[in-house]
Amino acid sequence: MSAPSQPPNPAAMASASGPAEPLGRRDRMALAAVAALLALLLLWLRGGLHPEAPLERLARQSPDLQVALSNGQPTLVEFYADWCEACRTMAPAMESLERQRRGGLNVVLLNVDNPRWQPELERYAVDGIPQLELFDAAGVDVGRSLGARSPSELEALITALVEAKPLPQLAGVGAISALNASPEPQAGSSASAGPRSHG
């Protein structure tokens, strides 16, 4: 007669097979290659090492101001700064609207920290950001928007601009009055604050 079979004993099996063998050189190389491929795939899916934020993309794609004002399309100029949280918050909606209206609207971003734009900062009396200057298709300044705007407010502003309709009645939005000469400063008045003063 044969002896009844017993279930295998895990402890006995482990001692019989010995300790687990370390991975060989070939196995380690294959594992490293798979890990590197997965890391590259993840990097590619996330947009690179330093994915560009909407504000940076808009600024990089921004046409030259003089070209924009003379190409027969309405133009929205945003005075912004990289450190401006309100500007960064508005950027995804601005980027989406620019993409939807491409070919019918210029979106120009001017960084207030770039000395190149000092004449424009003075010309448009920029003393806070974000500030939007709105120009019709002839390059005439038709309005200004001060402060952060929601996506729906940006849509309303841009639609009015593109369709050559009156700007929506929003707080901080209004027509611009052209002054032929600036008034003389009164005694005891201080110079106007610059766009970076926030004071």
The string of DSSP letters for 137-157 reads: TTS-EEEEEES---HHHHHHH
Using 50, 70 and 90 to split pLDDT, how confident is the model at 139? very high
Question: What are the structural domain ranges in the chain?
Answer: 21-48, 54-174
pLDDT above 90 for 52: no
Please tell us whether the domain made up of 54-174 is placed in CATH 3.40.30.10.
Answer: yes
* pLDDT tens for each residue of 143-196: 999 999 999 999 999 999 999 999 888 877 765 544 333 444 444 434 444 444
* pLDDT tens for each residue of 83-100: 999 999 999 999 999 999
The pLDDT value given to residue 186: 41
CB contact burial 134-150 (16+ within 10 A = b; e otherwise): bbbbebebbbbbbbbbe
Give the residue-averaged pLDDT of 14-29: 69
Task: Return the active site residues.
Answer: 84, 87
What is the SS3 assignment for 46? coil
Give the residue-averaged pLDDT of 62-67: 92
Pairing type for strands 141-146 and 106-111 reads unpaired
Rounded CA separation 16/42 (Å): 42
Using 50, 70 and 90 to split pLDDT, how confident is the model at 133? very high
Percent of the chain with pLDDT over 70: 72
Predicted TM-score (pTM) above 0.85: no
